[in-house]
Amino acid sequence: MGSVNHPLNKTLFKHRLDPALKNMASAKKTRWLSVIVQSVNGIDERIKKHIKKHSGRITKDYPFIKACNVLLPPSAIKPLETLSQVHYLSFNRPVAAHLNNLKTVMASGTAHNQGLSGRDINVALLDTGTYPHPDLIRPANRILCFKDFVNDREFAYDDNGHGTFIAGIIAGNGSMSKGEYAGTALGAGLISLKVLNQSGNGWTSTVLSGMQWVYDNREKYRIKLACLPLGCSGSLAAENDPLSRAAQALWDLGVVVCTSAGNNGPEVSWISSPGINPNIITVGALQSFGGTVSRDNPLALFSSRGYTADGNPGPDFVAPGTAITSLNSDPCFMPKSPLSHRSTRLDNYYCQGTGTSAACAAVAGTICLLLEKHRDLTPDEVKSLLKHSCKSLNLLKEQQGYGLPDINKLLYITH
C-alpha cells in the first residue's frame, strides 16, 4: 500500500465517498452524520470553511493521516465530496473487540528458557483498558502508562475485561498461578489505551485518537509494537479506510502493528479493518485443546477468512484462539488513586476466552520476544521473519496466511 502520503487517486470522483455514507446521506433519516474526512494535503482552510458553511463541526483532528472527524448534516456530504482537497469521506464506523494455556502451542517456554521475556519491549494495547492484575503489577508495575479516550479517567481500570484478558496473553507473568498461565512475553511493558467502552464497543474516531496518541508518543514511551485486537467492517479499499491508513502511518514510523482478522467466520468473507491493510500483521484463530491444535479442523469456525475489498487474501498468520486461559478482572473497579488496586481482590484470578483477539495477542507476544533479541528490526523485517518461521496447517492461503509462527524456528533463524 505504501505510505499514507500517496497522491490523490486518479479515479472518478464518486470513489471518494464511502457507499455506506452515501446511503445514509440519501436517506436523510438523521440530522447529523459523523464523518471521517481524509484530505490530500491536510485539513486546510478551504475544507474548514466548507464545513463551517454547512453548519458542520470538527470534533477531532488526526494530523498523522491528514484527517479529522466531523459532524455534518446529510446535505453537506455531496458538496464536500466535490472539493479537490478531499481524499475520501467515510462513515465513523462502529468498532468492536474480537474475543488452556498458550505456552505449549506457541512454544514460548523455549524462549523463556533462553532468558527471553520481552523485557524492555513496550507494547501499546488499544482495547477496553487494563485492570491492575497481580500478574501485571507484581513484583513491579508493568502498566507503564494508561490513557482513557472513553471516560477520561486517570488511573488504570477495565470495565469490560477484554483488554485485561489480552494483556495477560501478551505480558502476564503468571504470578498467581505459579507460572502456569504466564503470557508469551512475561516481562514486556504495557501502554494501555482505552478506546472501547464497557460493552467492548467503540467508534473509528476513538480508535484513531488512540493511534494518533501512539504516533505522537512513540519515542517518549519507547513503543515498539501496537496491538489492536479489534476491528470494524472492512468493506473499503485499504488506501481509503481510515484505520488502515492510520496503521500504515504507524508502520512507516517503525511501530509494528498487529491486529485481529475478526470473528466473522465463513459466512462473511471480509477481513476486519485495520486488518485489511496488506502490510501490517493480521492474525486469525486456530482451534486448540489441551495444548495441541485440532488436526481435523484446525481453523476456528468463527475466524474471519477470505479476501479483502482489494482482493488480498487474509489473514497473514494464525494462532490459538479457543478456550484460552488468561487474566480475569473486576469490571466494577474504578480507581481514585494509583494505589486503589490494594483495596480490591478477585475471587478468580483467571478465566477463559475465545476469539481472534486472543490469537492476535499470542502473535504480539511472540513479536516482543523477537524484538528483545533483535531490537533494531524494522516492521517489514519482523513480518518477513515470522513468515519464514511458520508451520503450515495445510489450509488455503486465505484461511491461514503463512500459518502458525514457531518460536523455536524463529529463534533458530535469527541466531
Residues with catalytic roles: 127, 162, 357
- Please report, as a single letter, which amino acid is at residue 413: I
Q: What are the distances in angstroms from CA 122 to CA 6, 153, 214, 375?
A: 30, 22, 12, 12
Per-residue HEC secondary structure of the chain comes to: CCCCCCCCCCCCHHHHECHHHHHHHHHCCCCCEEEEEEECCCCCHHHHHHHHHCCCEEEEEEHHHCEEEEEECHHHHHHHHCCCCEEEEEECCEEEECCCCCHHHHCHHHHHHCCCCCCCCEEEEEECECCCCHHHHCCCCCEEEEEECCCCCCCCCECCCHHHHHHHHHHCCCCCCCCCCCCCCCCCEEEEEECCCCCCEEEHHHHHHHHHHHHHHCCCCCEEEEEECEEECCCCCCCCCHHHHHHHHHHHHCCEEEEECCCCCCCCCCCCECCCCCCCEEEEEECEECCEECCCCCECCCCCCEECCCCCEECCEEEECCCEEEECCCCCCCCCCCCHHHHCCCCCCEEEECCHHHHHHHHHHHHHHHHHHCCCCCHHHHHHHHHHHEECCCCCHHHHCCCEECHHHHHHHCC
Residue 241 backbone dihedrals phi, psi, to 5 degrees: -75, 125
The CA distance from 350 to 104, in Å, is 18
Give the residue carrying C-alpha cell 484462539. 321
Nearest one of 281, 309, 310 to 384, comparing CA atoms: 281
Q: Which residues contact 100 (CB under 8 A, 6 or more apart)?
A: 288, 290, 291, 323, 324, 325, 352
Strands 404-405 and 390-391, sheet pairing: antiparallel
